[in-house]
Structure 1
Amino acid sequence: MMKMKTNVLRLLDYQHIYYKTKEYDYDENDLSGKHIIEQVDLKPEEIYKTLVLHSGNDYLVCCIPVMEEIDLKKLAKASGHKSVEMIRQKDLLPLTGYIRGGCSPIGMKKKFPTYFQEDILLLDKVAVSAGKRGIQVILNPKNLIAYVNGQCVDVIRKE
């Protein structure tokens, strides 16, 4: 049983949005996210990672399946920018309030335009970080998208 409530979970409780949590052992050396897949008993396409990007002084958030790669050109086009790039890791905490590996689209310091890989609409449930390394929050994708006022677009790299 989880010992503490993260800010993400408190925000969802406040909005009466149903969720479950799943804890896992965070592996700092596994940047692929495989360690999460192996521990949370969900399909890889149901686990989304949260990326924070910028175009000049415009910041945006993008959530894609954990094993996929973002296509920066597609995201730039979808968001109406000429180009976008990932923010520097040292800027993540001051900008969002989250550290790498614990970044959630829910409860950032400010509301940023948020984009989801459109395949999320095909899922019954999706997991994103609960705002702390080692905890995923699992909820209905439509509730998540509505809560962050997100848009669904095709933003992953296709072979």
Structure 2
Amino acid sequence: MGKEVKTNAVRILDRNKVEYELNKYECDDFKDGVSIADMLEQSYDMSFKTLVTVGKSGKYYVFAIPVDKEINMKKAAKEVGEKNIEMVHVKDINAVTGYIRGGCTPIGMKKNYPTVINESAKEHEKIIVSGGRLGLQIILKPDDLVKVTNGRYADIIMH
């Protein structure tokens, strides 16, 4: 492992003695999760994208859902106790999370925002999330993701 891989997310996993694998791939600019899963021949169900939202209260919330699914804003808002939520504008992602679009992971953001992982993650031994920068993925147990983000599971996708 070269030093360049140590994103904040990786440091947090190491500090918490969480077992994980890193997967590096070539990626110079933003690609959506489905394109990356296709490129790497990974299951959509196991590949999770990170969505950052802001509630009416001005508080931020993080959601992790399968890359081929859409978030149900009503369910997600209800889950975090907000009347409604909206996606954080792309230009604000770095300021809010410390990560860039396409490299945003629920682990190790600037602040520990309330995090909800879609309950389908529990169906898998391991899931894949971004590693904190373009071209890096973290593969870990869903319960470990919940643990390091102080997150929880809920049904937050469109059916």
Would the TM-score normalized by the shorter structure come out above 0.5?
A: yes
The question of whether the paired residues in 1 share the 8 Å contact of 2:118 and 2:156 is answered with yes
Structure 2 Cα separation of the partners of residues 137 and 84 of structure 1: 27
Q: What per-residue deviation string (whole Å, max 9, x for no partner) do you get for residues 82-114 of structure 1?
A: 111001111110111011000010010000000
Number of the residue aligned with 1:80: 81
**What is the alpha-carbon root mean square deviation over aligned residues?**
1.6
Structure 1 Cα separation of the partners of residues 150 and 40 of structure 2: 26
Number of the residue aligned with 2:96: 95
Q: Return the offset for 1:24.
A: 2.1
Number of the residue aligned with 1:69: 70
TM-score (norm 1): 0.92
Structure 2 Cα separation of the partners of residues 75 and 20 of structure 1: 29
Within 5 A, what are the aligned runs for 1:87-126?
A: 87-126=88-127
Counterpart amino acid of residue 62 in structure 2: V
Within 5 A, what are the aligned runs for 1:5-154?
A: 5-26=6-27, 28=29, 30-31=31-32, 33-56=33-56, 57-154=58-155
Structure 2 Cα separation of the partners of residues 120 and 128 of structure 1: 11
SS of the residue 1:44 aligns to = coil
Structure 1, unaligned runs of 5 or more: none
Structure 2 Cα separation of the partners of residues 36 and 24 of structure 1: 9
SS of the residue 2:99 aligns to = coil
Say if 1:36 and 1:27 are closer, same or farther in 2 by CA, change over 3 A. farther
